[in-house]
Structure 1
Amino acid sequence: MRLVLTGGGTGGHIYPALAIGREAAEREPDTSILYIGTTKGLESRIVPNQGIPFESIDITGFRRSLSIENVKTVMRFVQGVRRSKQLLREFKPDAVVGTGGYVCGPVVYAASRLGIPTLIHEQNVVPGLTNKFLSRYADAVAVSFADSLPHFSGRRNVVHAGNPVASTVSKADRGRGFRSLGLADGTPFVLAVGGSRGAKALNEAILEMLPRLESLPNVHFVFVTGERYYEEALARLGELPTKLKGRVHALHYLNNMPEVLSAASLVVSRAGASSLAEITSLGVPSILIPSPNVTNNHQQPNAESLADAGAGVMILEKDLNGTVLFESVSAIMQDTARQEAMAAASKALGMPLAAGSIYEQIKGIANK
């Protein structure tokens, strides 16, 4: 198979695309992949490091108010379509897959105009503007959440496939997760992470609640601060009582997140689509604090989807503080039956075969 992947801006768009490419390469070892992104997005650094050929186009997103910049964006879109057609004619793909971000717009649109089969993948419950636009032209649509299906009613070949990153983490080694933290297998611990860069509001609530861990004597706490907050967090953690310090493990980043997540008793997290796909693939109970600083507040519907299923608890950032967070952590960690019920509900939402399902969709449209 010759496959073009496109998606950019954030890891939430890039890693699903890479997971789809990885699945295609595993199924068909002679697969050729080209990734089209922008030089300004994270994809320009992440994708080449994976050894995947990378080409760029110049495109920006629309602003939500009248602006001269939107006129320039239209011009960039037209130029981006022209550049995309050139790249597609040279590469001659069997299919083009878009996973979100404004770079997908000209690439997938150009492919549709050239008669190349196209699939778009939507990670969030509420679709982004680009995928809403592209769904009119795509030959297939894959969604991560069942709650997304009504947003694509009337479109062709819409499948609730899950998020392909779930397939990557489903084979994580739980024992290695414990060992990497220096913990004995089965040690109960809470994993708190605000994303790769950290989250100030979440970190502050965690630092406020940690002294209360004295009332949870057997529970450890793994606190992933993000690099820019790490030194400040270490200084604050130095003020903890000595008997607590051994149960709090502060890290600025986790290189083996799937392994540690698979070992966790509970995760405290933002509600990005890829994070939730990993959490549910592994069946981990969660406390979710959706970021209010994302487009269309799309993390809140993501978190609500898990909370409504009994797989997680949602706390809005405006309601978040150390007391509220500790009460939620304590209520779950001291109730084994509730933990087990949440884990089962989380696992029921998980779709570890997502990448394979999307691959079959791609093969279907390519064969047609």
Structure 2
Amino acid sequence: MKKILFTGGGSAGHVTVNLALIPKFMDAGWSMDYIGSINGIERQLITAIPNVKYHSISTGKLRRYVDLKNVKDPFHVVKGVVQAYQLIKKLKPAVVFSKGGFVSVPVVIGAWLNKVPVIVHESDLTPGLANRITSRFSTVICTTFPETAAAFKNNNGHHVGPVIREEMKQGKAERGREFVGFSKMTKPTILVMGGSLGARKINEVLRESLNELTKQFRIIHLCGKGNLDSSISNPDYKQFEYIDQGLPDILAYCDFVISRAGSNSIFEFLFLKKPMLLIPLTKQQSRGDQLLNAASFEREGYCKVLHEELLDSKSLITSVRELAEEKEVYIKNMNGFKHHDALGLLYNLIIETAK
């Protein structure tokens, strides 16, 4: 029985492609292990899957800015490398697949030290710091955007395109409506999501705008862990910390999406032809990857962009109404995007690398 080791975490975006690949390897009879952090969201998502063994290691964030944690976090990373090296030596996988995030750095280095081939996946237009580091120890780097492959100097970049989880293609609108508990009244529905960790500014401004927005729309709000507001009583507003298995049905049910601009999510919205209002993380909050993702989609006519610096109740309401008015234009533009079987390409590339 062949064995594959997955890694990646810190946010749901660093687990999504792994979640898409795992069923294919499960069907092919592979043995699967996953190395993640002790308390990251990847643990919650992966331990729910049968036949995937989860192992946790020490990890630390590698920051580009001044922070006292920069003093001790490198020691956590070194500890994680030792733990990953020992685990991989024991598990003996044929190949390691890394989706990124800082937990992946010690795992990829540990695999390299064990002479195990590594495939790294980069979803965003520009590679993150973790993938810049792990690319030096990898066999192949797979990219979602074609221009991203050129960013890797050792010429092992390989463009596969956006990976769409199979379950996203199976969503049913009626199941989504029943899941959230809305009646059958016809009113366009907006799904608002700030990523797996939530988005404070989006949450605040959305709730300030509820009375006005719900005159025209219903709202499904994924607000992040610990961000529910029990004081709100509005029949056209449903809030959840996070939704995993029911998300394909909710996306099938909703008419519009308000979201951050993580690559995995926005390509799934594109595949499903959901007009989207993107509110990317700012330069102060990130390395600017979401700004580039959003700008790329805006150029192609797939989305409307509202920058967080301009986000307030008035701008949100105006942007949502404009998105609704131009719905058919966005859908027409999205119909022009040519989807390839990126999941199949990625799966076959992993198989060949394992050989």
TM-score (norm 2): 0.86
Q: Distance in 1 between matches of 2:47 and 2:214?
A: 46
* Paired AA for residue 309 in structure 1: E
Give the secondary structure class of the aligned counterpart of 2:228. helix
* Paired AA for residue 347 in structure 2: Y
Give the secondary structure class of the aligned counterpart of 2:32. strand
Identity %: 26
Deviates more, 1:89-98 or 1:48-57: 48-57
Q: Which residue of 1 aligns with 2:220?
A: 222
Q: Which residue of 2 aligns with 1:308?
A: 299
8 Å CA contact retained: 1:207, 1:233: no
The Cα offsets for residues 232-265 of structure 1, whole Å up to 9 and x where unpaired, read as 561xxx4xxxxxx55x222224451221112222
Deviates more, 1:120-129 or 1:15-24: 15-24
User: Which has the larger share of helix?
Assistant: 1
Q: Distance in 2 between matches of 1:341 and 1:141?
A: 35
Pair 1:9 & 2:46 matched: no
Q: Distance in 1 between matches of 2:172 and 2:215?
A: 30
Q: Which residue of 2 aligns with 1:241?
A: none
Matching residue within 271, 285, 309 for 2:261: 271
Deviates more, 1:46-55 or 1:316-325: 46-55
Q: Which residue of 1 aligns with 2:327?
A: 339
Unaligned runs of 5+ in 2: none
Q: Which residue of 2 aligns with 1:62?
A: 62
State the structure with more CA Rg: 1
Q: Distance in 1 between matches of 2:265 and 2:144?
A: 12
8 Å CA contact retained: 2:150, 2:157: no
Q: Distance in 1 between matches of 2:262 and 2:207?
A: 22
Unaligned runs of 5+ in 1: 239-244
Tell me how far 1:174 sits from its aligned partner: 2.7
Q: Which residue of 1 aligns with 2:160?
A: 160
Quote the RMSD (CA, aligned, Å): 2.8
Q: Mapping of 1:1-368 within 5 angstroms?
A: 1-26=2-27, 28=28, 30-51=29-50, 52-64=52-64, 72-152=72-152, 154-164=154-164, 166-180=165-179, 181-184=181-184, 187-213=187-213, 216=216, 219-226=217-224, 228-231=226-229, 234=232, 238=233, 245-246=234-235, 248-253=236-241, 254=243, 256-292=246-282, 294-334=285-325, 338-346=326-334, 348-349=336-337, 351=339, 353-367=341-355
Q: Distance in 1 between matches of 2:86 and 2:227?
A: 44
8 Å CA contact retained: 2:259, 2:278: yes
Tell me how far 1:3 sits from its aligned partner: 0.3
TM-score (norm 1): 0.83
Tell me how far 1:127 sits from its aligned partner: 1.2
Instruction: Extract structure 1 runs of 4+ deviating beyond 6 A.
Output: none
8 Å CA contact retained: 2:12, 2:196: no
Q: Distance in 2 between matches of 1:155 and 1:280?
A: 29
* Paired AA for residue 361 in structure 1: L
Tell me how far 1:366 sits from its aligned partner: 1.5
Q: Distance in 2 between matches of 1:324 and 1:68?
A: 37
